[in-house]
Amino acid sequence: MVDEAILEMRSITKEFPGVKALSGVDLVVRRGDVHAICGENGAGKSTLMNVLSGVYPHGTYEGDIVYDGQVCSFGSIADSERVGIAIIHQELALSPYLTLAENVFLGNERAKRGWISWNRTENEAVAYLQRVGLHDNPATKVIDIGVGKQQLVEIAKALAKDVKLLILDEPTAALNDDDSAHLLELIGDLRAHGVTCILISHKLNEIKKVADRVTIIRDGRTIETLEREEISEERIIRGMVGRDLTSRYPDHTPRIGPELLRIEDWTVHHPLDRGRVVVDRANLKVHEGEIVGIAGLMGAGRTELAMSVFGRSWGVDISGTVYKRGQPINVRTVQAAVRNGLAYATEDRKQYGLNLIDDIARNISAAGLGKLARAGWVDENREHVVAERYRRQLNIKTPSVSSIVGKLSGGNQQKVVLSKWMYTDPEVLILDEPTRGIDVGAKYEIYTIINQLADEGKGIIVISSELPELLGICDRIYTLSEGVITADVARADATPEHLMHYMTEVREEDHV
């Protein structure tokens, strides 16, 4: 192993409208290392990698990238690939109906004057596939192999481009244990062959296993870089969460009543990979007037748990029972779930929450339209009166409730989503990332609304990636790791380190 830097990123700063995603990040990666990057969701890891690989072209960020001793200014992904940097994203970039061989050389075809040489394609593909430990027929279509193998095809594809620096973004997030172990082995093997790896992962045990160094990023800044001998899970967790908890949360004294909702033995399988358990025998409950948090890292199964409970909107082979006030209730369809007093405000309001091309009033009434209708006819005047009421109550900043929702800011869109579900008058509200992508002022308003809803006796379940947020507003927090509820922590006992410990707890390890 040569002790020199293959890559140096110097005080990288990247701003998006209204947000500073990176402020002066430094990163030094030594040649031949496996270099892990850790940080909470939204800390800036992916942004940093996008800067490095040219997704954000030179000029849209500040700072320098020195690669192989040269200052680089990549204008596109193609530029960074040319010098041997390849990035493998969480969502795989394979073409499902093409063969393994075709995918290995996608965009890098073995061709002469535009005519593909199929013999060379196949022969060389076999060689690259074997290097990553894949012995499948190169004529197999990508759609016919599992996600684990697809990940390997991605790596073979990178190798075919003569990669020197391989960036892996959460490579094991979608893999089962065997596939993960295999992948980690492969990463070690690539290191032996002189390929440098940058590994972004939430799985601290994996990092401990393969990483030579770890850089921790928090709030868009480099916190520290740990050497091999310093790496331990506790040490990394401390770096990831160690921020001061300034009070950005309204005061709230909970008035907790009897049990309202109980979910028992809830198990959900992945719709595309039925063998994979995404939520594993989860048990949780929420009382009247209680705000319960669900903490978990990306891929832990938080949204999957919530959506499967809400009318089986996600997943297959779902089993388990939902009780309301001790009585089992039917949540098989969204209609039934809504009828039984459940509401789910999605984490992805643009995709799943709103009809962006319609106006505010009609979005607010969308889930509770029955309350506005007599014999199928909608009372539009009342609809507008209702929308006006929520506009005032939630302070939705818009000139009129007839404005198109797509033109509102994120915080105001979120308030429309909340209004929609508040109008159905639910007993239990599941709020999935209720403050994602909205500014601090609007966040405070949303927290206030959540507190008010709890004070009305509703049960609130908040899913969030931001630990301070959960610690700031919840009365009780469940931690979720790989589909398993690993702890049930009262607010008084919860610290970020404590929660992060349970959030990164892995099934086969001994501290259950």
Partner 1 sequence: MSATATNAPQTDHPTPRPEGALRATLSYLAGQLRQLGLFIALIAIVILLQGMTHGVTLSPRNVSNLVVQNSYILILAIGMVMVIIAGHIDLSVGSVVAVVGALAGVLNNKLDIPWLPTILLCLAAGALIGAWQGFWIAYFKIPAFIVTLGGMLAFRGLAQILLKNTQISPFDDTFRKIGSGFLPDLGGGTSFLEPLTMILAVLSVLALVVVGVGARRGRVRNGLATEPLLWFVLKTAFMVALILVIAWQLASYRGTPIVLVILGVLVVAYSAVMANTVFGRQVYAIGGNLRAAELSGVNARRVSFMLFVNMGVLAALAGLVFTAQLNLAGPSAGDGFELDAIAAVFIGGAAVTGGIGTVGGAIVGGLIIGILNNGMTILGVGTEWQEFIKGLVLLAAVAFDVFNKRRAARSA
What are the Cα distances from residue 52, in Å, to 4, 5, 45, 167, 226? Answer: 19, 15, 11, 10, 21
Which is nearer to partner 1, 4 or 348 (by Cβ)?
348
How far apart are CB 510 and partner 1 at their closest, in Å? Answer: 40
How far apart are CB 392 and partner 1 at their closest, in Å? Answer: 12
Report whether 322 contacts 316 (CB < 8 A).
Answer: no
How far apart are CB 338 and partner 1 at their closest, in Å? Answer: 5
Which is nearer to partner 1, 246 or 351 (by Cβ)?
351
How far apart are CB 303 and partner 1 at their closest, in Å? Answer: 12
3-state secondary structure of 109: coil
How far apart are CB 290 and partner 1 at their closest, in Å? Answer: 24
Q: Which stretch binds partner 1 (CB under 8 A): 70-78, 134-142, 346-354, 433-441?
A: 346-354
Which is nearer to partner 1, 50 or 424 (by Cβ)?
424
Q: Does 398 bind partner 1 (CB under 8 A)?
A: yes
Q: Draw the binding track, 354-393, toward partner 1 (x: CB under 8 A; -: no contact).
A: xxxxxx-xx--xxx-xx--x--xxx-xxx-xx--x-----
Beta-bridge mates of residue 116:
111
- Distance from C-alpha of 360 to C-alpha of 406, rounded to nearest angstrom: 9
- Distance from C-alpha of 479 to C-alpha of 343, rounded to nearest angstrom: 21
**271 — phi, psi (to 5°)?**
-65, -30
Question: In angstroms, how far apart are the furthest CA atoms of the chain?
Answer: 78
Tell me the number of residues near partner 1 by CB under 8 A. Answer: 43
Q: Which stretch binds partner 1 (CB under 8 A): 10-18, 90-98, 275-283, 336-344?
A: 336-344
How far apart are CB 433 and partner 1 at their closest, in Å? Answer: 15
Q: Does 402 bind partner 1 (CB under 8 A)?
A: yes
Element (H, E) at 191: helix 177-192
Report whether 86 contacts 165 (CB < 8 A).
Answer: yes
User: Which of 12, 241, 338, 467 is the binder for partner 1 (CB under 8 A)?
Assistant: 338
Which is nearer to partner 1, 48 or 386 (by Cβ)?
386
How far apart are CB 355 and partner 1 at their closest, in Å? Answer: 4
Pairing of strands 165-169, 85-88: parallel
Cβ neighbours of residue 468 under 8 Å, at least 6 residues apart?
A: 243, 245, 248, 496
Which is nearer to partner 1, 236 or 366 (by Cβ)?
366
The encoded tokens of residue 268 equal 């959900």
The encoded tokens of residue 217 equal 């990023």
User: Which of 182, 269, 391, 420 is the binder for partner 1 (CB under 8 A)?
Assistant: 420
C-alpha 325, offset from chain centre: 32
How far apart are CB 384 and partner 1 at their closest, in Å? Answer: 5
Residue type, 340: N
Q: Does 353 bind partner 1 (CB under 8 A)?
A: yes
C-alpha dihedral sign at 363, 364, 367, 368: negative
How far apart are CB 412 and partner 1 at their closest, in Å? Answer: 12
What are the Cα distances from residue 443, in Å, to 3, 136, 250, 405? Answer: 46, 50, 10, 19
Q: Does 82 bind partner 1 (CB under 8 A)?
A: no
Q: Does 253 bind partner 1 (CB under 8 A)?
A: no
Which is nearer to partner 1, 222 or 346 (by Cβ)?
346
Site for partner 1 in 131-190 (CB under 8 A): none
Q: Which stretch binds partner 1 (CB under 8 A): 1-9, 61-69, 296-304, 352-360?
A: 352-360
The encoded tokens of residue 323 equal 């009780």
The encoded tokens of residue 20 equal 């500073």
- Distance from C-alpha of 330 to C-alpha of 324, rounded to nearest angstrom: 10
How far apart are CB 470 and partner 1 at their closest, in Å? Answer: 24
- Distance from C-alpha of 119 to C-alpha of 34, rounded to nearest angstrom: 35
Residue type, 164: K
Q: Does 272 bind partner 1 (CB under 8 A)?
A: no
Cβ neighbours of residue 122 under 8 Å, at least 6 residues apart?
A: 101, 138, 139
Q: Draw the binding track, 306-335, toward partner 1 (x: CB under 8 A; -: no contact).
A: ----xx-x--------------------xx
* Site for partner 1, rule CB under 8 A: 310-311, 313, 334-335, 337-338, 344, 346, 351-359, 361-362, 365-367, 369-370, 373, 376-378, 380-382, 384-385, 388, 398-400, 402-404, 407, 420
